[in-house]
Structures are given as C-alpha cells and as structure tokens.
Amino acid sequence: MRPRIGKEVAAVDVCRCRCPDCLGSGEHPNKEIHRRLNLLLSRLDEHQRRWLAALESQKVGRGGDRLLSCITGLNVETIRRGRRELDASLAGCPPNRVRRPGAGRKPVKKKTLPSSRHCGSCSTGRSLATRRPAASGCAAASAD
C-alpha cells in the first residue's frame, strides 16, 4: 500500500527480484528487465501494479503468476485478482479513483477545542466567566 500526500506519491523502496536467476551468482539477460519492471511498479498505485503484473503474467503463460510474484514481491493471489479484473475489462474499477465508492476509512469527526477561558481541569465544561467560584471547587475559577 502506497501512502498519498495530496497529489504527490510518497517515496517507496524498489522491490528486489527474488527469482532463481537473479538470486544466482551469475549474470542473466533478464536481470536488468526485472530491475526496470520493479522500478516502474514502485511508481504505480495498487491497482496499476496489480494490472501490470497480471498482464506480464499472462505473457509468460503457465507458472507466470508464481514467477511474477518472485520478481515483483506481489502476492500470487493479488496477481490472479488483477488477471480477473483484466478479463472483465476493468468493469468494476472506476477510472479516476484508487478506492471504490464507499470504500476506505470513514472521515473523522472534527473535534472542537475548549474555550480559552476554561481551565480544563474540571468536568463541568462551563467557562470561567459563568462558573460560580465558591460552588464549583475549580482552582482556576476561584482564582478570578
């Protein structure tokens, strides 16, 4: 999951390929391609990563999901979900949204700050101007 700040995407580490060829000591021709694929994936949002990995998996054919999981670090089920979404022509995926309508965290209710004349140490919630010093027992109220 990639945190968003306004319209800018926060920096994210590039995943290192864990395929058997890249983990081996020798050089192989796809090592640079795997590095570039992971670099590109690090700049995409979660939907786009899933869809690109699914597309590359389909190019490989049988065993593509597991291979792309090793290369990208994405879960196999995430790649399979991307293939299902691509097969459905991205029907349930709104074009300009990361989350579906109604999804995500609910908005937090705005908290109101206490009055500047309230001492905050008592539970009455009345301001110092309306409090009777003798009856309340509030140290700040009796100081006025």
Structural domain includes residue 125 = yes
Structural domain includes residue 104 = no
Instruction: Judge whether residue 84 has pLDDT over 70.
Output: yes
Question: Please, what's the b/e burial string for 117-143 (b: 16 or more CB within 10 A of its CB; e: otherwise)?
Answer: ebbeeeeeebebeebeeeebebebbee
Paired tokens of 117: 């004349």
Same domain, residue pair 11 and 72: yes
Structural domain includes residue 106 = no
Quote the pTM value.
Answer: 0.60
As a whole number of angstroms, the distance between CA 34 and CA 45 comes to: 18
Instruction: Judge whether residue 22 has pLDDT over 80.
Output: yes
Q: What are phi and psi of 18, to 5 degrees?
A: -115, 25
Paired tokens of 89: 């022509």
Structural domain includes residue 97 = no
The number of distinct structural domains making up the chain is 2
Same domain, residue pair 11 and 79: yes
Same domain, residue pair 77 and 119: no
Same domain, residue pair 79 and 124: no
Q: What is the pLDDT of residues 96-116, one digit of tens each?
A: 766 666 777 888 888 777 766
Structural domain span for residue 47: 4-87
